Structure formats: C-alpha cells, structure tokens
C-alpha cells in the first residue's frame, strides 16, 4: 500500500520490424513468434494514476468506457496483490492517423505508473511481462531503441528485453494515409490470419528473419534491415489476404500507391523499405540523411497524405 496521491509514467510507442501477428495463447497473450521493434521518439503516452473510489479512464480529457483497462488492472491485482481503485488519466500523443499502435505505449505507461504508485520493485523485464497481458506490443515499449520480445513458452518467460546495437542513423517516414479507426482489431486480425494455409510457414520464416535482422543491426546494414522488415511485413499482410476465415486486408488504394513509390524510390537509389501494421498507413525505413528528401518526394506526389519523420526514442520514464 502507498500513501502517494498519484504517479505518472511516460512510454513511447514502438514499430515492429519483425512482427507479432498471432497468439499461441490468447488469454495470456503468448505470441506464436518472437518480435523485434524500434521505440520512436515522436509518439508517446503519458499516464497518471490516482487513488479513487472506482477504476476509471480518461484519455485526452475524454472519459472512456475503460473496460479493457479495468480488466487489466484486475489482472495486475491478481498477479501482484490488491491495490485501491484508480483513476487513470492518459495523454496520448500517438495520433490515431499515424497508424502506430497506441496500445503499445498506453499499456506500457499504465503498467509502469501502477507499479511505481504501489512501490513494486520490478525490473523493466518484469514490467514488460505484466504489460503483455494488456497488449502484446506493449512489452517492447519499456526500452530505448531496439527491443526483442522473446515469445517464451509460458506466462513466466514471455517478455521483451532491450536489444543493444551500434548507434544507427535510422529514421522512419510515417505516411498518415487514413485517420479512420481500424475496422478489424488486431486480436481479430490475428485470429483470422492464423487460419491462413501459409501461417506455419510464416512462423518458421519469421524466426529466420529475426536471426538475420539481429546480424544486420549489429553490422549497421540498414539496407538489409529494411529488406528484412519489408519482407516480414508483406508476408504478415499476405496472411490476412489468404485467411480461410473471413480473409481481409488493412490496405487501401493509397497504401498500394505509396508501396509503388517506395519501389520507385529504391530505383532512384534511395534507401527506402516499407512496413505496415494493423491499418493502411505505411512507415518507410530509411536513414536520417535521406528521410527529409523522401518526405519531400512523397509530399509532392500525395497532396492529401501527411508525412512525419520519426527517430529512435527513449525507454520508460517517470514524473
Ligand atoms: O499488441 P497489439 O494488439 O497492439 O498488436 C500489435 C500488432 C502489430 O502492430 C501489427 C505488430 C507488432 O508487432 O506490433
């Protein structure tokens, strides 16, 4: 128990270069594959928890139904022992339209704030393990730069760790294609993707791609990093298209047009590789020198799309 009034934590979002796309255990959020991500500087969630009379959630000053947060707080109570009801006040600086998983930074910030509020003495890996029950991608948002979520075998050993690399001049050009809320949730998308006849092959390939990705990052080979990330993302989206249970796609026409331009950029000698998540937006992996040029190139061709440049970000912090 604590006599503190409240506690604030800040977590940045992350973008997976080797994706998490399927659950071995949906209740525990154990993944079928290990995944690797980059934490981003530009997008974050700042969450404050305060003692209250019942659990509640406010995001960007708007009251939310908060069922998922209430469920998650109860999981924390079961795991760590009881604590008083909390008012959760979240400031989300992950624009929905950026197509980045705000659930990653949200559940990481919430886990860290609750742990610190209750004076739990936990390592980042232990926090990551707890955050997994809220959202899988949140496991990776505790660490600066690159992180690997080792899939593990059970609840105890499935969590992320920092993956230290030489300093890399990496940057992402984030193409904000659509602001509409995604029509297939990531959990439902994963469930359907796992019915694809290609799913088992994707799981095997993903392990190889992860091994190669680690080597490419160690040797600062951004070209290879980009190739592997693009191949992994396209194969993930192929699972959605080939699902036998209600096949679907997150892509729209602009996604396809931007993907064509990514190829055109490469033909012109740019370092440019695409990755996409549970939405139509494209994130282009490049270096910090070329990012503004790629942004300008695309801005000229897509007047309605907005572009951001994102760079490696910090791990969890507290206020
Ligand atoms: O954990 P969720 O529900 O945010 O799922 C994340 C899924 C992807 O963003 C598509 C991939 C990933 O590894 O982040």
Q: How many whole angstroms from its chain centre is CA 209? A: 18
CA of 253 to the centre of ligand 1 (A): 22
Q: Which of 102, 174, 186, 206 for a ligand 1 pocket mutation test, highest count of atoms within 8 Å of Cβ?
A: 186
Residue 183 is predicted with a pLDDT of 79
Q: Which of 21, 190, 192, 213 for a ligand 1 pocket mutation test, highest count of atoms within 8 Å of Cβ?
A: 21
Residue 2 is predicted with a pLDDT of 54
Residue 4 is predicted with a pLDDT of 78
Is the predicted ipTM greater than 0.95, yes or no? yes
User: Which pLDDT tens digit goes with each residue over 222-233?
Assistant: 999 999 999 999
User: Which pLDDT tens digit goes with each residue over 48-85?
Assistant: 999 999 999 998 888 888 788 899 999 999 999 999 99
Lining ligand 1 with CB less than 6 A are 16, 19-21, 35, 101, 103-104, 135-137, 186, 277-278
Question: How high is the mean pLDDT of the chain?
Answer: 94
Tell me which residue has its CA closest to atom 4 in ligand 1. 137
197 burial (CB, 10 Å; 0-12 / 13-18 / 19+) is: exposed
Domains present along the chain, CATH in parentheses? 6-166 (3.30.230.10), 170-310 (3.30.70.890)
User: Which pLDDT tens digit goes with each residue over 92-146?
Assistant: 998 765 566 688 999 999 999 999 999 999 999 999 999 999 999 999 999 999 9
- Regarding predicted confidence, which is higher, 198 or 279? 198
User: Which pLDDT tens digit goes with each residue over 78-106?
Assistant: 999 999 999 999 999 987 655 666 889 99
CA of 21 to the centre of ligand 1 (A): 7
Residue 55 is predicted with a pLDDT of 93
CA of 20 to the centre of ligand 1 (A): 6
Decide: 282 and 258 in contact? Cβ < 8 Å: yes
Closest ligand 1 atom to 136 CA: 1
User: Which pLDDT tens digit goes with each residue over 10-49?
Assistant: 999 999 999 999 999 999 999 999 999 999 998 999 999 9
Decide: 272 and 226 in contact? Cβ < 8 Å: yes
Q: How many whole angstroms from its chain centre is CA 91? A: 17
Percent of the chain at pLDDT exceeding 70: 96
Residue 97 is predicted with a pLDDT of 54
Residue 64 is predicted with a pLDDT of 86
Residue 181 is predicted with a pLDDT of 60
Question: Model pTM?
Answer: 0.96
Separation between Cα atoms, residue 36 and residue 150, nearest integer Å: 9
CA of 135 to the centre of ligand 1 (A): 8
- End-to-end alpha carbon distance in the chain: 20
Q: Which of 14, 21, 137 for a ligand 1 pocket mutation test, highest count of atoms within 8 Å of Cβ?
A: 137
């Amino acid at each position: 128990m604590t006599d503190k009034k409240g506690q604030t934590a800040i977590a940045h979002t992350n973008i997976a270069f080797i994706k998490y796309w399927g659950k071995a255990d949906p209740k525990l959020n154990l993944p079928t594959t290990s995944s690797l991500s980059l934490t981003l500087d530009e997008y974050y969630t700042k969450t404050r928890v305060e003692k209250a009379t019942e659990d509640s959630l406010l995001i960007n000053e708007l009251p939310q139904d908060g069922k998922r947060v209430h469920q998650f707080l109860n999981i924390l109570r079961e795991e760590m022992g009881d604590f008083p009801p909390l008012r959760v006040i979240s400031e989300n600086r992950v624009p929905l339209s950026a197509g980045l998983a705000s659930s990653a930074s949200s559940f990481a910030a919430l886990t860290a704030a609750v742990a610190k509020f209750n004076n739990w003495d936990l390592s980042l890996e232990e926090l990551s393990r707890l955050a997994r029950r809220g959202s899988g991608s949140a496991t990776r948002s505790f660490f600066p730069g690159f992180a690997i979520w080792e899939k593990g075998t059970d609840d105890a050993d499935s969590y992320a760790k920092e993956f230290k690399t030489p300093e890399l001049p990496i940057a992402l050009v984030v193409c904000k294609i659509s602001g509409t809320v995604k029509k297939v949730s990531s959990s439902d998308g994963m469930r359907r993707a796992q019915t694809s006849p290609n799913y088992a092959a994707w799981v095997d390939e993903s392990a190889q791609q992860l091994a190669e990705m680690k080597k490419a990052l160690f040797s600062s080979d951004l070209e290879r990093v980009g190739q592997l990330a693009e191949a992994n993302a396209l194969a993930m989206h192929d699972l959605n298209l080939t699902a036998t249970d209600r096949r679907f796609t997150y892509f729209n026409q602009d996604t396809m047009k931007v993907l064509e331009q990514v190829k055109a950029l490469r033909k012109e000698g740019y370092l440019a590789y695409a990755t996409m998540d549970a939405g139509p937006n494209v994130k282009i992996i490049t270096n910090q020198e070329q990012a503004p040029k790629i942004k300008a190139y695309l801005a000229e061709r897509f007047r309605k799309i907005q572009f951001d440049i994102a760079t490696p970000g910090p791990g969890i912090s507290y206020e």
